[in-house]
Chain A
Amino acid sequence: MGQYTTDFGSIHSYKKGGVTAIDDDPKRYVFSNMFEVAAKSAPYERVAVAKNFEYVIESAKAEGESPWYTAAHDEFVISMDGKVRVDFIKLPDPDALVDPESEGAVKIDSKPEGANMGYVVLGRGHMAMLPVGAAYKFSAAETCTILIQSIDGAVTQHKWAQFCQK
């Protein structure tokens, strides 16, 4: 009687669809599931689940604390299925940590110097900006999935053959 239940999926509970080929090769559709990718990856391993020329979408398992990252451009993150905190530090000299002409995120070995910009706490379906000129770190008390809009770079992992339908 007019009751609808939205199916969100999560790293703990997801169902995969798939490609039924009629006259084509399923590999051409690069079909995977972000929750499966995150579930079978190490925490904060940023695995590409979509790629369009230089641009990527990365799926990662959020669990505990991540390294610090920065990039020479904006990035964005969506929490898909849980609570994730993102801390930000304003870098006094971003070019010292990342080539301003480079693309994609880079990992910073230790907590960088700089002003505390504050933090956000994301729940399911919340999107945050990871602004250029800042370093950021994720933390999650309980395992969940994050989706990152970025550019193919040093931390992007490519595991297409492992996760995509053949």
Chain B
Amino acid sequence: MAMKESAFAGTDEEISNPRGLPINGTYAINPADNITGYKSFQAGSFKFHRDEYFCYVTTPTGVHTMPADAFLRALMRDVAWGFFYGTVNFDQVFGTTNYYGEVDMFMGATNEAYTSAGRDFVERFKADKLMDVFKQMVSDWTNEGYDPFAAPMETGVPWGVKNGDNDEAVSRERVTARRMVGLPGDTPVRTDTNGYPVNRMFADVPQDRPEVHPEPGFEHEVSAYNLFGYLSRSDVTWNPSVCSVVKDSLFCPTSEEYILPVEHGNDRCEWFIQLTDEITWNVKDGATGRPRAVINMKAGDCCCMPADIRHQGFSAKRSMLLVWENGSPKIPELIRQGLAPDVAVEF
């Protein structure tokens, strides 16, 4: 994920609350079901349970059903990204919107049919409290051998009754370089030795190292590493990690395969730089879900996602994508005041 810790914790600025919702402080984690073995969970009026194939979200306005694999992959990203920037749509109905310290959880709030029929439902939570429930949910509902971070062809299946766990996978620490990967004391490069073999789809990516010739005393400043080699060894998909930092400018490259498990409705402009291969993005209106555009990105392409849309990517072959985020803590306040632009550049 691409956020700084400060973004998850909130800022000193007033927290935006466009719906004027009160904080709901009701949480429950219920004992395992006698038949399926899975625990059920509750946050406010939202109730969550799963069986062998499906996950269910129940609110006073209805029940929403998702396949367990899609739900767990989306839940994993929402957890790993700390609710991320803006809205994480698990699908076209259920999701969360991050206000940096507080979170709206919704059913149908970004779906035109639900809102026009008055069937949408939203409640607000403290981010850390809801995150605790989500972490326990992804831990309990993930079975042994299934990794919701992995591409579908590289992991087991999520189906069936409760069968062990995979806490090692679902509790991965996100990678956030403080200055640049490979610098002394910063995030290390990936190697076979430290548990990051080259992915099968990147077997042809050169693993050579840059020539680095520092004069004595400048070893901490004259530094370089093989970024493409680093990305070829990523063991997760659709999980941006910070690799270099210029103030609040965060280079968050990632390896992508299959489908972005969420429809991400960012609250700010977000740039994609296609480093290798190809991704197709389906773009929809952020508020209604109406289709807006289809974007095909090939190696070298640069494209900005406006702040008023949601996007979902498809990558047939594992590809390298540079996700570029502006993590400035000032942006939530600009958004709250309506001063943040929807479009990054006008020409």
Residues of A within 8 A of B (CB): 2, 4-9, 14-24, 26-36, 49-53, 55, 57, 59, 73-76, 78, 80, 86, 88, 90, 115-129, 131, 133-134, 145, 147, 149-151, 160-161, 164
Quick one: which of B210, B224, B271, B300 contacts A36, CB cutoff 8 A?
A: B300
* In the assembled complex, B302 has its CB within 8 A of some CB on chain A: yes
Which residues of chain B come closer than 8 Å to A127, judged between CB atoms? 180-181, 224-227, 243-244
Cβ–Cβ < 8 Å partners of A27 in chain B: 346-347
Q: A2-B200, A7-B278, A23-B292 are in contact. Are A124 and B228 (CB under 8 A)?
A: yes
CB-nearest residue of chain A to B181: A127
Given contacts A8-B276, A149-B249, A161-B347, contact A123 B204 (CB under 8 A): no
**Which chain A residues border B245 with CB–CB below 8 Å?**
74
B295 contacts A19, CB within 8 Å?
Answer: yes
Q: Is the CB of A120 within 8 A of B213?
A: yes
Which residues 190-247 in B have Cβ within 8 Å of A in the complex?
200-206, 208-215, 218, 221-229, 243-247
CB distance from A67 to the nearest CB of B (A): 20
Task: Give the chain A neighbours of B303 by CB distance below 8 A.
Answer: 19, 29-31
Q: Do A150 and B293 contact each other (CB < 8 Å), given the known contacts A15-B298, A33-B302, A125-B229?
A: no
- Any chain A CB within 8 A of the CB of B80? no
Tell me how many residue pairs across A and B have CB atoms closer than 8 Å.
238
User: B204's closest neighbor in chain A, by CB?
Assistant: A6
Q: Are A4 and B225 in contact (CB under 8 A)?
A: no
Please report the C-alpha to C-alpha distance between residue A127 and residue B326 in the assembled complex, in whole angstroms.
20
CB-CB < 8 A to B204: which residues of A? Answer: 4-6
Of A9, A22, A119, which contacts B300 at CB under 8 A? A9
The reply to whether A117 and B206 contact each other, CB–CB distance below 8 Å, is: no
Q: Which of B78-127 contact A (CB under 8 A)?
A: none
Indicate if B273 sits at the interface (CB-CB under 8 A): yes
Residue from B211, B226, B277 in contact with A125 in the complex, judged by beta carbons closer than 8 Å: B226
Contacts of B247 on A, CB cut-off 8 Å? 55, 73, 151
- Does B179 contact A74, Cβ atoms closer than 8 Å? yes
Judge whether A29 and B306 touch: CB under 8 Å.
yes
Tell me how far the C-beta of A128 lies from the nearest C-beta in chain B, rounded to whole angstroms. 4
Contact A119 B213 (CB under 8 A): yes
Say yes or no: A17 contacts B218, CB within 8 Å.
no
In the assembled complex, the Cα of A160 lies from the Cα of B131 at a distance in Å of 41
**Which residues of A have CB within 8 Å of B328?**
53
B317 within 8 A of A: yes
> Per-residue CB proximity of B170-183 to A under 8 Å, as 1/0?
00000000011101
B35 interface residue, CB < 8 Å from A?
no
Partner of A17, one of B269, B275, B278: B278
What is the CA–CA distance of A75 and B225 in the complex, to the nearest angstrom?
A: 15
Q: Is B74 in contact with chain A by the CB < 8 A criterion?
A: no
Q: How far is the CB of A85 from chain B (nearest CB, A)?
A: 8
B185 at the interface (CB under 8 A from A): no
Task: Determine whether the beta carbon of B292 is less than 8 Å from that of A22.
Answer: yes
B210 near A16 (CB under 8 angstroms)?
Answer: no
> Which chain B residues border A134 with CB–CB below 8 Å?
221
Contacts of A49 in B (CB 8 A): 273, 302
305-327 of chain B: CB within 8 A of chain A: 305-306, 309, 317-318, 324-326
**For the complex of A and B, 9 pairs with smallest distance between CB atoms:** A125-B228, A9-B299, A17-B296, A160-B347, A128-B224, A121-B211, A55-B249, A118-B214, A126-B210
Chain A residues within 8 Å of B225, by CB: 126-127
A154 to chain B: closest CB distance in Å?
16
